[in-house]
Amino acid sequence: MRLCWFNDFRLGLVREDHIRDVTRALEDVDRYTYPAQKGDLLLSNLDRLRPIINRLADTGVAHGIRDVRFLSPVAQPTKIIGTPVNYLKHIEEAQADLKAFTSRYQGSIHEQGLFLKAVSALVGPSEGVTLRFPDRRNDHEMELGVIIGRKGSNIAESDALEHVAGYAIALDMVVRGSEDRSFRKSIDSYAVLGPWLVTADEIADPSNLAFSLSVNGTLRQASNTKFMILNIAEQISWASQFYTLWPGDIIMTGTCEGVGPVHPGDVMHCEIEGIATMDVAVN
C-alpha cells in the first residue's frame, strides 16, 4: 500500500500513475481531541483503516500523480531521528574535508549518538526546500526514511522491523557550520519526506535498496542501503532504549558519499528502488 497526503491534506492511495482520494477513511477517527495523544493518528490506526482505505479507493476521486502537490506522508510525528555517519564512504569524505564537515563530532556512531531534527522542519517534496542562509554551505543528504507504525520502548533487535509501518525517501538537509547538529538540521523545510509511504509488506528487504540523488541532472549520490554501518533494526532498537517510539516517528537512516551543496534554483531528483522517485526544488 502506498499512502500520501496531497493538496490541502487529502489522504491518497497511490495506484500506478494515479492517486485515489480516500480522505473519508478518517471519518470515524477522532481527529480533534485536545491535547492530541502522542503519535500520528493515521499511523496509529493504520491496521484498522487499511481495508477501509482499499474499499474507498475503488470509487475515490482520481488524480494523476503529476497533478497533485505532495505533502509529507507523515502528518504529525513526535520526533525525527537522525543517524549520523552511517556509511563508511561518507565518513571518509567528511574526514577529508573537515573545513566543510565540522570536526565537532568525532568517533563512531555509538560514541556520537543519534540526533533529533525539529518536527517543524518537516515538509513534503512539493513544498521544496527554502534556504535560510544562502551564503553558507547548504547540503543535501539523501537517505532512506523509516516510519514507525507501532509504539515501543526497549525494542529488541529481533522485533524491531515489526515496529516499522513503511518507508519513504528522506532528505536530511543541513547548513554546515560549528553549531550543534540539531540546530543546523532543524531549519524550516530541512526535513523532506515523500512522496508517499510504502508499507513495509511491500519492501521485501529494506537492507538492499539502491538509491540515488542528482542535482540539475548531475548524479551526486548513489549507493545502497546494504552499506549501512548500523542496520535498520539496530537503529530502531538503540533509539528505543532512549525514547519511546510512537507511530509516525521518522528515522533518517544516514547518508552515503557524495554529499554536496545546493543553491536556490536547483532541483534535487531522488530515487529509492521499490519506493519512488521525487523532485524537490531549492528556493
CA 61 to CA 180: how far, in whole Å? 45
Residue 255 near Mn ion by CB under 5 A: yes
Q: List 10's β-bridge partners, or say none.
A: 6
CB 188 within 8 A of CB 132: yes
CA 112 to CA 254: how far, in whole Å? 13
- Does the bond joining 77 to the residue before it have cis omega, within 30 degrees of 0? no
Nearest to 175 by CA among 239, 125, 102: 102
Residue 172 near Mn ion by CB under 5 A: yes
Nearest to 252 by CA among 71, 10, 87, 128: 87
Q: How far apart are the first and last CA of the chain?
A: 32
Nearest to Mn ion by Cβ — which residue? 172
Stretch that binds Mn ion, among 95-103, 159-167, 215-223, 252-260 (CB under 5 A): 252-260
Q: Nearest distance from residue 142's CB to Mn ion, in Å? A: 9
Stretch that binds Mn ion, among 4-12, 104-112, 238-246, 251-259 (CB under 5 A): 251-259
Q: Give 153's contacts (C-beta < 8 A, 6+ positions apart).
A: 240, 243, 244, 245
CB 13 within 8 A of CB 20: yes
Residue 139 near Mn ion by CB under 5 A: no
Among 141, 150, 155, 175, contact with Mn ion (rule: CB under 5 A): 141
Residue 257 near Mn ion by CB under 5 A: no
Nearer CB in complex with Mn ion: 73/82: 82
Stretch that binds Mn ion, among 18-26, 149-157, 198-206, 254-262 (CB under 5 A): 254-262
Q: Nearest distance from residue 257's CB to Mn ion, in Å? A: 12
Residue 138 near Mn ion by CB under 5 A: no
Nearer CB in complex with Mn ion: 200/228: 228
Nearer CB in complex with Mn ion: 105/151: 105
Stretch that binds Mn ion, among 97-105, 116-124, 165-173, 264-272 (CB under 5 A): 165-173
Residues lying near Mn ion in the complex (CB under 5 A): 141, 172, 255
